[in-house]
């Protein structure tokens, strides 16, 4: 039979198949080949003996949380208390895109802004939308209607951005471990926490936050450029085919920055990202 691993506690894997759940073990063969089944894996299993026989090809796999086949990451981003952190937002957008996962920006706490602040944030929202990112706000449940369907989603974003309250709004039966405690635990101490996919609005969310302290591991400067939408999409108009938009002459991106058609913070962050890995 074919199924989806939705939960893992030490050596037990809960496989869901046609709305039934099977408590399976991995075959010895996996251990011999140093392959560990992951939550998110599509598997072939023996439903009589409860053994996982085969893992289907993965689209991707993450280390923290330890899941595979992640379709998208919801970047929960507070606009006030804590203030909008464009550095972290742009960093997450870039790293998530690099991992072949679609990022979705979810702005929270918009209701805390005064009129003037609201105008500024609206400009940010419109900019991110205009360059092609999916952007939603958490003001009502309707905004999430089609987001989760048939997808595996991880949540990420700065602490205090409102991940837990977002999940509570979407489904108050779910108590995701997206609180500050799990952040503290993830910061180095070993924990025995399990990983689990939770059904939410016809899709799945992962119970632990992802990408919370990810760095630009294994990324080259050109990877940063190619995973920031406007740095990549305008590249063809630069004089040099491999323009990094920093020291080159006749750089179209730098022109757009000067004309304020590219958000200044985006370009500053871009340069800082490249500095930080060079
Ligand atoms: Zn350029």
Q: Is it the case that residue 263 has pLDDT exceeding 90?
A: yes
Q: How far apart are CA 158 and CA 211, in angstroms?
A: 10
- The mean predicted confidence, pLDDT, of the chain is 89
Residue 239 Cα to ligand 1 midpoint, Å, equals 7
Residue 249 Cα to ligand 1 midpoint, Å, equals 8
Residue 226 Cα to ligand 1 midpoint, Å, equals 12
The mean per-residue pLDDT over the stretch 247-269 comes to 97
Residue 100 Cα to ligand 1 midpoint, Å, equals 24
Residue 216 Cα to ligand 1 midpoint, Å, equals 21
Residue 107 Cα to ligand 1 midpoint, Å, equals 30
Residue 236 Cα to ligand 1 midpoint, Å, equals 8
pTM tops 0.85: yes
Q: Note whether 199 and 173 are within 8 A (CB).
A: no
Q: Note whether 52 and 45 are within 8 A (CB).
A: yes
Percentage of residues of the chain with pLDDT beyond 90 = 68
pLDDT tens-digit map of 45-96: 999 999 999 999 999 988 778 899 999 999 999 999 999 999 999 999 999 9
> Which span out of 52-66, 107-121, 179-193 was modeled with the highest average pLDDT?
107-121
Residue 132 Cα to ligand 1 midpoint, Å, equals 19
pLDDT in the model for residue 213: 61
The mean per-residue pLDDT over the stretch 214-222 comes to 88
The mean per-residue pLDDT over the stretch 9-15 comes to 91
Q: How far apart are CA 15 and CA 53, in angstroms?
A: 12
Q: Is it the case that residue 177 has pLDDT exceeding 70?
A: no
Q: How far apart are CA 31 and CA 9, in angstroms?
A: 16
pLDDT in the model for residue 164: 79
pLDDT in the model for residue 209: 65
Mention every residue, 6+ apart, whose C-beta is less than 8 A from residue 119.
none
Q: Note whether 179 and 167 are within 8 A (CB).
A: no
Q: How far apart are CA 99 and CA 105, in angstroms?
A: 16
Residue 127 Cα to ligand 1 midpoint, Å, equals 20
């Amino acid at each position: 039979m074919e199924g989806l691993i939705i939960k893992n506690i030490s050596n037990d894997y809960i496989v869901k198949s046609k709305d039934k759940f099977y408590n399976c073990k991995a075959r010895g063969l996996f251990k011999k080949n140093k392959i560990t089944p992951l939550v998110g894996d599509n598997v072939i299993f023996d439903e009589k003996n409860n053994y996982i026989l085969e893992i289907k090809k993965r689209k991707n796999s993450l280390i923290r949380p330890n899941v595979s086949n992640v379709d998208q990451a919801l970047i929960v981003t507070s606009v006030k208390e804590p203030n909008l952190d464009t550095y972290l937002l742009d960093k997450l957008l870039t790293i998530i895109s690099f991992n072949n996962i679609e990022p979705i920006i979810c702005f929270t706490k918009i209701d805390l802004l005064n009129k003037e602040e609201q105008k500024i944030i609206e400009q940010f929202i419109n900019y991110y939308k205009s360059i092609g990112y999916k952007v939603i706000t958490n003001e009502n449940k309707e905004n999430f209607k089609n987001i989760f369907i048939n997808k595996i989603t991880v949540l990420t974003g700065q602490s205090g951005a409102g991940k837990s309250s977002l999940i509570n709004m979407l489904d108050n039966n779910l108590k995701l471990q997206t609180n500050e405690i799990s952040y503290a635990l993830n910061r180095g101490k070993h924990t025995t926490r399990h990983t689990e996919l939770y059904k939410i609005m016809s899709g799945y969310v992962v119970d632990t936050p992802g990408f919370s302290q990810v760095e630009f591991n294994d990324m080259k400067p050109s990877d940063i450029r190619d995973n920031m939408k406007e740095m990549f999409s305008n590249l063809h108009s630069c004089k040099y085919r491999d323009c990094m938009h920093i020291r080159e002459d006749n750089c179209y991106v730098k022109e757009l920055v000067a004309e304020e058609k590219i958000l200044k913070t985006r370009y500053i962050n871009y340069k800082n990202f490249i500095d930080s890995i060079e």
